[in-house]
Amino acid sequence: GIDEVQFFDSTIVDVCEELTSCGIRVIVSGIPTDFRGEVFGSMPVLMARAEDIMRVHAVCAVCGEEIADFTQRIKIAEGKRIPAHYSDPLILVGGDADYEARCRIHHEVPGKPGK
């Protein structure tokens, strides 16, 4: 099993392919999109090549619906919790205070091109 597979570089796809071709069952978990709502690492390729995909949803921190598929990064500015800007660094190791689950309607990315 490999957790947080979105953080691995692209060689993880080859590793998973080699292990499965040897008859080893490989289970990976990770999030398919980053806080910007864009594909994250090798997740799209791994999902495309997987024999089975189990997609789970979280509860949206805003509306409470069990349809949250997005990761909302939160930052503190002037004492307020606000959504991270599109230009903020992609990787930020954090905890519950830095991220929350959001549904498509409540996911916000200030500064995202085309928005």
The residues carrying an active-site annotation are 4
- What's the CA gap between 46 and 55, in Å, rounded? 13
Q: Which amino acid is at 61?
A: A
Return the bridge partners of 81, or none: 76
111 close to 75: Cβ distance less than 8 angstroms: no
Nearest to 41 by CA among 14, 69, 5, 17: 5
Determine the length of the chain. 115
Q: What do you get for the CA distance between the two ends of the chain, in Å?
A: 37
